[in-house]
Amino acid sequence: MSRSGGAEESSSISRQITELARMVRSAGKCVVLTGAGISTESGIPDFRSPGTGLWSRVDPMAVLSATAFRTTPEAFYRFIVELVETLQAARPNNGHRAIAALEKMGVVDVVVTQNIDGLHQRAGSRNVLEVHGHLRTGTCVQCGKTYDIKVVLDAVGLGELPRCDACRGLIKPDVVLFEDPLPVDFLLAQQAVAECDLLLAVGSSLEVAPVCYLPAMAPHLAIINLMPTGYDVRADVVIHAKAGEVLPSLVDAMREGTDGNTR
């Protein structure tokens, strides 16, 4: 790309960020929806990217489905341990921190995430709906007793299946598996999006059902994603760039454009 082309692209993104800041500032209620793309900048591979996504090297139905949990628990737990270790080693990036800053400023009401890494909370976000669950805890499938995920890791490390100390049922991580129903957080996310003025989708292909139906419920939509999505044509603002670069600039634009009153 020529210097002039790079400058033009930078100028275009700057204008888009300014427009997005105006939209966020004027929204009575803004909801942020995040996908795997915001966490790839923290070193967490996404699931579906050709060649680099987790599903390019393993069959998701063989390791992360309700059927796998029931029929091949040893393989299921080995994959879970590897996944937990990857997520625990990751750190929030500038994108996560910027969203937390927007929430603290009072311009983001709810963060809806498809991610199970907990990085939004670690960055400082408080009102987070995890529509695909998380890997902080596990629950006994028989009696419902809850355990810290460390109990699962320790048992698998000893070559054992993690079992409840009350009833000996298996402890299932609190992540939504393939074939599982979605948690109550998804219903709350639907309500939040239906009531919002603006949905800001970040780092998501917006293809995974049923989360992919949420943008259609919002009166206004903005998208920050490296690659085009099927919703680009109906979005008010589309920025094809890294979330960790765009979101901090959005925070700066919000601060420059307010006099202390964020709404």
Give the DSSP H/E element, type plus range, for residue 147.
Answer: strand 146-148
Q: State the Cα–Cα distance between residues 57 and 46, nearest whole angstrom.
A: 12
- Which of 175, 194, 229 terminates a domain? The answer is 175
Q: State the Cα–Cα distance between residues 154 and 79, nearest whole angstrom.
A: 14
Give which of 108, 111, 140, 83 is closest to 28, Cα–Cα: 108
Judged against a pLDDT cut of 90, whether residue 206 lies above it is answered with yes
Judged against a pLDDT cut of 70, whether residue 262 lies above it is answered with no
Judged against a pLDDT cut of 70, whether residue 134 lies above it is answered with yes
Same domain, 119 and 169: no
Q: How many domains does the chain have?
A: 2
- The catalytic residue positions are 132
CA 49 to chain centre: 16
Structural domain range at position 227: 23-44+93-132+181-263
Query: DSSP string of 99-139?
Result: HHHHHHHTS--EEEE---S-HHHHHT--SEEETTEEEEEEE
Judged against a pLDDT cut of 80, whether residue 7 lies above it is answered with no
What is the arithmetic mean of pLDDT over 223-231?
A: 96
Share the mean pLDDT of the chain: 91
Same domain, 195 and 245: yes
Query: What are the tokens at 99?
Result: 């969203």
Query: What are the tokens at 173?
Result: 């991580």
Same domain, 98 and 171: no
What is the arithmetic mean of pLDDT over 183-199?
A: 98
Query: CB-based contacts of 200: which residues, under 8 Å, 6+ apart?
Result: 20, 24, 30, 31, 32, 33, 108, 222, 223, 224
Query: What are the tokens at 252?
Result: 């700066």
What is the arithmetic mean of pLDDT over 203-225?
A: 96
Give the DSSP H/E element, type plus range, for residue 185.
Answer: helix 184-195
Judged against a pLDDT cut of 80, whether residue 47 lies above it is answered with no
Q: What CATH number is attached to the domain comprising 78?
A: 3.30.1600.10
Convert the pLDDT of each residue in 228-244 to its tens digit: 999 999 999 999 999 99
Query: What are the tokens at 87?
Result: 């997520």
What is the pTM (predicted TM-score) of this model? 0.91
Same domain, 78 and 111: no
Convert the pLDDT of each residue in 52-84 to its tens digit: 555 456 677 888 999 999 999 999 999 999 999
What is the arithmetic mean of pLDDT over 139-156?
A: 98
Do residues 80 and 177 make contact, with C-beta atoms less than 8 angstroms apart? no
What is the arithmetic mean of pLDDT over 79-96?
A: 95
Q: What CATH number is attached to the domain comprising 109?
A: 3.40.50.1220
Same domain, 118 and 243: yes
- Which of 112, 142, 175 terminates a domain? The answer is 175
Convert the pLDDT of each residue in 96-125 to its tens digit: 999 999 999 999 999 999 999 999 999 999
Q: How far is CA 205 from CA 45, 74, 114, 146, in A?
A: 14, 32, 11, 33
Do residues 202 and 37 make contact, with C-beta atoms less than 8 angstroms apart? yes
Query: What are the tokens at 181?
Result: 């129903």
